[in-house]
Structure 1
Amino acid sequence: MANLMATRPPQPWPAPTAGRAVEATVRLPGSKSMTARALVISALADRPSTLGHPLRARDTELMAAGLRAMGQQVSTLDDERWVVRPQPLTGPAHVDVGLAGTVMRFLPALAAQSGGAVTFDGDPHARKRPLGTLIGALNALGARIESAPGGGLPLVVHGAGALPGGEVTIDASASSQFVSGLLLAAPSFTNGVVVRHQGPPVPSAPHLRMTVEMLRAAGAAVDDATPNVWSVAPGRLAGRAWEIEPDLSGALPFFAAALVTGGRVTLLGWPRGSAQPVDALRELLHRMGGEVSLGTGGLTVRGTGKIHGLTADLSEVSESTPVIAALCALADSPSRLTGVAHIRGHETDRLAALARELSALGAEVTELPDGLEITPRPLRGATFTTYDDHRMAHAAAVLGLAVPGIEVTDVACTAKTLPEFPALWSSMVGSGTAMGE
């Protein structure tokens, strides 16, 4: 009976419909992107590091577990303060990447400098996510990596201690994580690393800036003065205390609730200066009809109940595409979203999935090679498939605020980055106040 229960598909989650304007104050966990980078940098440092207010979610737990598998001491017992005590990288080991791009793209460079073979594998869809560019680059820098015939998972990284490093040219247009994965480990290469990008623009540029800023904060010498070239000198990184910012991508569905319902949502604890693309997101929300302000109480978004369509290049904030697309389906005019061809290689093909699910609700959607055209139409309730993708579940929840009868196939997939999402969301819609501690 237990086995039968374990394989039973998840029960659909009825997305709550808002009966009034949402007035909410939200405290969210730390940024996934910052937590992942801080863990990797700390593992290569010269002394212990701490992470204040990190994100505890599936992706970051898998990152911590992957580092432990390679010999690092990573304590995550305290939700508010994780501790990393760096040790020599060891093997043999096995790393479960789940569906996390950060784990599958940040840890192979460390594994290549370990003392043995390290295998990488993950969820079934993880084997479809692009990795060939990173594997080729690491092999060119002195690593020895065996991959599946398609150039992805499963991998075997044959650790051989310190690697020579040097210069490498790649096409990182499929993911900025290819560059970040090389840069984060670059100080530990004997000769450092120079990465040159040739190809269409690298997406998610703010995440690359975050990588560079965090490396510099740990003492790395990084030269990014030449466009599409990053040079990292060899040298030991410094252990330090990292204060992880609240997760901006995780906050977006809550901010969207203010636009949909004509309410107000405040994200507590937002810093004056941020490594995340807050300005780009603020501009998008403003153009769609929201008012965005940063005060002593946090980052606040106010809506009027009217949502405007827009034409926008989302390449810098590609993680926002599903929720922005949901808002566009509720807007008062058509929208054209572009610059996000690379999100076809995320947890699912997000463009195809959004086109399919929004159309099923009644929207008029045209799938573009690098985006979507969305013409609002009267929407109806229906089952909304998530494809094991947390951002798809966020989009469905936003639509459900205005469209009764939307059932989300697997809201539990939000545990990838915010396990508390269903409870926080239901509390916010039901009571008008959501507090995540």
Structure 2
Amino acid sequence: MGDNGQVSHWNAPVAAAPIDAEVTVPGSKSLTNRALVLAALADGPSRLTGTLRSRDTDLMIAALQALGAQVEGPDGPLTADDTELVITPGTLQGTHVDCGLAGTVMRFVPPVAALATGTSTFDGDPAARVRPQATVLDALRALGAQIEGGSLPFTVDGTGSLRGGRVEMDASASSQFVSGVLLSAARFDEGVELVHTGSAPVPSGPHIEMTLEMLRESSVAVEQPTPSSWRVAPGPIAAVDRVVEPDLSNATPFLAAAAVTGGTVRIPHWPASTTQPGDAIRGILQAMGASVTLEPAGGTAGTIADGSESARDGDGATAGAAGHGTLVVVGPERLSPVEKDLSAIGELTPTVAALCALADGPSRLTGIAHLRGHETDRLAALAAELGAVGCGVTELPDGLEITPAPLRGAPWRAYADHRMATAGAIIGLVTAGVEVDDVDSTSKTMPGFTRMWSDMLAGRG
């Protein structure tokens, strides 16, 4: 929504020439919100540096503050511009939690509320009320929580503690169900043994790896006996000072801009090793014909040659800024089509689909049925909007077949979904007349997106 409360229409600018720009990307939402939860449950104060300040992260901050944690800026009371935060845990008490449209707030905060004393009510945007939620609530009930409701709005009646123990869940719809339980599990009386029972693997596996790594950094004893089970021992959560990496998924539209215009985009502070799923864009862009190099700080550029589709495992990647460089993407004369299983990296689908619409042959993206339960049904939304601008799209049970065709300007609906909005911006770079109907939905994870986009087109860093 714009400042006047009206949906913000935006004429996506066309690139008059190949882009040549450096883009500094704000901190990772996924890392920020996990770090905030762990800090609120820790055994002492924590300091987070480089945190993302966006609607999703501000909703998480507000929820944890209302539950009893103290969140301040480096110089005292928190301001809207503070990206260095000091979190001091407090006594947890019941409250009201506004989830907005943030899946991490919907799924990560209820276990914290179950550890509070008193009743917590949860609600959010109308679109959030249809997002899958029952899986994590049913798991918490099995672990001893008192919860009314199976979707937003719902209530959690906390007693100050939670028994914990063994629980089974079908997390086929979202890895956030697993992460939500694991993040708080060390504070449960018996810890937790969580078993995924679905016939399909949990999607977005790198996000679970991110959770596990951050738990270990917080001195939590956690193990994964099988690919579909996890154990967290009861005990304290250590306070950890963390430096948050740039949000690699939010970087992908800017890298795609280089690819579709035959230009060059440089992203500084790109980690050499990370659990962020967005890192997989390197292999995808290379498969589509782009040149992809990571120039280490003070070192020599190296070509990324493995074409990996999943995030690389990191060693302390969330806790420090060491081992990073500048990622440089140079677009090809023509984009090659791809066939990709995106099950582990589904959040990249809107960017990859936009790239495929501008390739020189048909592409097939699969393994992403779970995207129907994201901010919107992203598969149906992408099929509708790419079709509206003239691309051939067939919606599959678990993905999309995309057949490029000459594109035309048309309204592009964002569905209040930040990644749909940025996909429209990519198409608009090479298609005049693309009008995104709610570009301010990007504030969910990337406030100031349109300014960053304009600066990129102008070659400003």
TM-score tier, shorter chain, comes to over 0.9
List per-residue Cα deviations over 1:206-227 (Å, max 9, x = no partner).
0000000000000000011322
Mapping of residues 152-163 of structure 1, within 5 Å: 152-163=151-162
1:276 matched residue in structure 2: 276
* Amino acid aligned to 1:385: R
Change (3 A) 1:11 1:243: closer
Superposition deviation, residue 11 in structure 1 = 4.2
Superposition deviation, residue 316 in structure 1 = 1.3
Q: Which runs of 5+ in 1 are unaligned?
A: none
2:326 matched residue in structure 1: 298
Superposition deviation, residue 285 in structure 1 = 1.1
Aligned partners of 1:252 and 1:323 also within 8 Å: yes
Q: Is 2:97 aligned against 1:98? A: no
Distance 1:273 1:189 in 2: 31
Which of the numbers 355, 369, 372 marks the counterpart of 1:341?
369
Mapping of residues 370-409 of structure 1, within 5 Å: 370-409=398-437
2:190 matched residue in structure 1: 191
Superposition deviation, residue 80 in structure 1 = 3.1
2:383 matched residue in structure 1: 355
Aligned partners of 2:364 and 2:400 also within 8 Å: yes
Q: Could you say what the CA RMSD is over the residues aligned between the two structures, in angstroms?
A: 1.2
Q: Which runs of 5+ in 2 are unaligned?
A: 73-77, 298-324
* Amino acid aligned to 1:217: E
SS in 1 for 2:266: strand
Aligned partners of 1:146 and 1:157 also within 8 Å: yes
Distance 1:10 1:58 in 2: 16
Superposition deviation, residue 288 in structure 1 = 1.1
* Amino acid aligned to 2:384: R
Superposition deviation, residue 24 in structure 1 = 1.1
List per-residue Cα deviations over 1:198-247 (Å, max 9, x = no partner).
11110000000000000000000001132211000001111111110000
The count of residues paired between Structure 1 and Structure 2 equals 424
Aligned partners of 2:249 and 2:279 also within 8 Å: no
1:12 matched residue in structure 2: 9
Q: Is 2:245 aligned against 1:242? A: no
* Amino acid aligned to 2:85: W
Mapping of residues 30-429 of structure 1, within 5 Å: 30-75=27-72, 76-77=78-79, 79-91=82-94, 93-147=95-149, 151-199=150-198, 200-277=200-277, 279-295=279-295, 296=297, 297-429=325-457
List per-residue Cα deviations over 1:343-399 (Å, max 9, x = no partner).
111111000011001001001100011110000000000000001000001000000
1:432 matched residue in structure 2: 459
Distance 1:101 1:279 in 2: 21
Change (3 A) 1:84 1:11: closer
List per-residue Cα deviations over 1:328-352 (Å, max 9, x = no partner).
1111010000111111111110000
List per-residue Cα deviations over 1:236-293 (Å, max 9, x = no partner).
1111111100000100000000101111111111222212135532111111111222
Distance 1:45 1:432 in 2: 43
Normalising by structure 1, what TM-score?
0.95
* Amino acid aligned to 2:339: T
- After the TM superposition, which parts of structure 1 deviate over 4 Å for at least 4 consecutive aligned residues? none
Aligned partners of 1:263 and 1:305 also within 8 Å: no
> Which stretch shifts more, 283-292 or 398-407?
283-292
> Which stretch shifts more, 69-78 or 195-204?
69-78
Distance 2:456 2:388 in 1: 27
> Which stretch shifts more, 273-282 or 107-116?
273-282
* Amino acid aligned to 1:173: S
Superposition deviation, residue 164 in structure 1 = 0.9
Distance 1:339 1:159 in 2: 37
Change (3 A) 1:11 1:27: closer
Distance 2:334 2:137 in 1: 47
Distance 2:187 2:8 in 1: 47
Normalising by structure 2, what TM-score?
0.90
* Amino acid aligned to 1:324: V
List per-residue Cα deviations over 1:298-319 (Å, max 9, x = no partner).
1121112311111100111111
Distance 1:25 1:393 in 2: 21
Superposition deviation, residue 174 in structure 1 = 0.1
SS in 1 for 2:117: coil
Superposition deviation, residue 404 in structure 1 = 0.7
Aligned partners of 2:8 and 2:440 also within 8 Å: no
* Amino acid aligned to 2:254: F
List per-residue Cα deviations over 1:1-60 (Å, max 9, x = no partner).
xxxx955x4342010100111111111110000000000000110010011100000000
